[in-house]
Structure 1
Amino acid sequence: MTTTELRLWTVDEYHRMIEADILTTEDRVELLEGQIIQMSPQQPPHAATTQRTFNYLNHLLVGIAFLRMQLPITLYPNSEPEPDIAVVRIKSREYIDGHPTADDIFLLIEVADRTLNSDRTSKARIYAQARIAEYWIVDVNARQIYVLREPGEETYQQEIILDGNAKLSLLAFPEIEVEVSQMFL
């Protein structure tokens, strides 16, 4: 029996496939750990919670950080995910020359309705290995937030689950108080 090895792609190869129109916006894919993965379609609760969370945090962080919604971030050497929300450094050219990288990122947020398991495992591993200091998973179904901090070799060393009555602050901006209830409809 012949075994076939999986061919993993780098960020640079992925970008060349996009530039050559091998991959287009119609493909709805992201690069995760060298694999080109089909993105899940969004149900209305996911889309509405993403928009509400984005609007709320954007209001709190205006002039302090940029918020990007469902746009790529580049995590060398082999991941270019599209988190639901990325809180990133303000740059005068607004990332026209390249997507934000790990050094630009304060916080990543994934909104989960059907993807909670993969967001807690594979996405957490990718973000922790890239040394993203803070990662939140907004669980639409349970109306709670997983707050992951202290990135380690394989995943985050700290995970706190907060319900809708909780308040928290971002590691990067401890003076900003976030009310979990404001992220849910």
Structure 2
Amino acid sequence: MTLAKVRSWTVDDYHRMLQSGILTADERVELLGGQVFEVSPQEPPHAATTRRSSRYLDRLLEGRADVRTQLPITLRPDSEPEPDIAVVRCDPGEYADRHPAAADVLLLIEIADATLSKDRNQKALIYARAGIGDYWILETNKRRAIIFRDPGSEGYASEINLSTADSLSPVAFPDLVVPLSALFLP
């Protein structure tokens, strides 16, 4: 039996597929670890938690960072995910000439319901290998946050589970305290 060889794509390959129309803006896809994946459709709790969290963080971080919702970040050589929320360094050009790269990312948040396994395993490893120092998963079904820190080539060395009764400070903003209850629906 012969196994089929899987082709891995780079970020540059992915951009060429978009520019040539092989992939279109109408297709909800992202590049993860060299493979193109469809983005899962959102259930109402996922969408509402994304909106609530991004609005809260936008107000909290006004003038200190940009809060981007479901927009690409470029993690070379082979990933261009669209995290639910990316807190990135302010850019005078608003990233008009490029997507934020790993060095621009201050905090990533994925909202998880049906996507928990992908967010916890596949995306966490990609984010850790890119050196993203602060990655949160907000799990809507259990109303908890899973906090990943201390990235390395094998994944995150630190994983903490918190409830909506807890608060924490983003690594990039140790002076701020985020009550997790502010990120979830009441």
Structure 1 and Structure 2 fold alike (TM over 0.5): yes
Structure-1 residue corresponding to 2:130: 130
By how many angstroms is 1:22 displaced?
1.0
Give the 3-state SS of the residue equivalent to 1:109 in structure 2: strand
Partner of 1:21: 21
Instruction: Give 1:79's aligned residue.
Output: 79
- Structure 2 partner of 1:65: 65
Amino acid at match of 2:39: M
Deviation at 1:117, TM superposition (A): 1.3
Q: How does 1:96-111 map to 2 (within 5 A)?
A: 96-111=96-111
Aligned-partner SS, 1:125: helix
Helix, strand or coil for the counterpart of 1:72? coil
Shift in Å, 1:3: 2.2
The one-letter code matched in structure 2 to 1:144 is: R
Q: CA deviation at 1:118?
A: 1.3
Give 1:47's aligned residue.
Answer: 47
Pairwise mapping of residues 7-18 of structure 1 onto structure 2 (< 5 A)? Answer: 7-18=7-18
Partner of 1:6: 6
Question: Pairwise CA RMSD of aligned residues?
Answer: 0.6
Q: CA deviation at 1:154?
A: 1.7
1:88 aligns with 2:88: yes
- Deviation, 1:153, is 1.2
Secondary structure in 2 matching 1:62: coil
In structure 1, distance between residues paired with 2:49 and 2:93 = 29
Q: CA deviation at 1:2?
A: 2.6
User: Aligned partners of 2:5, 2:20: CA distance in 1, in Å?
Assistant: 25
Identical counterparts, % of pairs = 56
Query: Residue 151 in 1 paired to residue 151 in 2?
Result: yes
Q: Matches of 2:160 and 2:47 in 1, distance apart? A: 24
Q: For structure 2, list consecutive stretches of 5 or more residues without a partner in the other structure.
A: none
In the other structure, the counterpart of 2:37 is 37
SS in 2 for 1:150: strand
Output the TM-score relative to the length of structure 2: 0.98
Structure 1 runs of 4+ off > 3 angstroms? none
